[in-house]
Amino acid sequence: MTNLTRIDSGPRMSQAVIHNGIAYLAGQVGAEGGTVAEQTTAILEKIDVLLAKAGTDKTKLITAQIWCADMATEFADMNAVWDAWVAEGCAPARWTGEAKLATPGYRVEIIVTAAV
């Protein structure tokens, strides 16, 4: 039998699912219309809360997937906030790409996994 814990579940998705000691977080976005730095800050705050609910924290990140609406103009601003947030010596495996996000007001979306 598979043991799953779902966190903040709704009819469409859960914000996090824990399976075999790994917390898988749904993609997190900030408030529409804010700057990339503001959205990234809000996203990382949401991630901190979800990781705490899962019984873990950012020092146990395994992977991070980051989507930017415009890499050419927003990558540096997102990275400045990200770099200040990541715990020293605990950077996850990370990939970043450009994507059209759910609505034009979203500039950044971040998805992480972490050990519990």
Query: CA of 103: how far to CAs of 19, 31, 33, 63, in Å?
Result: 30, 11, 10, 25
Residue-wise pLDDT for 59-110, tens only, equals 999 999 999 999 999 999 999 999 999 999 999 999 999 999 999 999 999 9
What pLDDT score does 2 carry? 73
Residue-wise pLDDT for 17-57, tens only, equals 999 999 999 999 999 989 999 999 999 999 999 999 999 99
* pTM summary value: 0.95
For residues 3-29, average pLDDT = 96
Q: Would the pLDDT of 1 be above 90?
A: no
The residue ranges of every structural domain in the chain are 4-115
CATH topology of domain 4-115: 60s Ribosomal Protein L30; Chain: A; (3.30.1330)
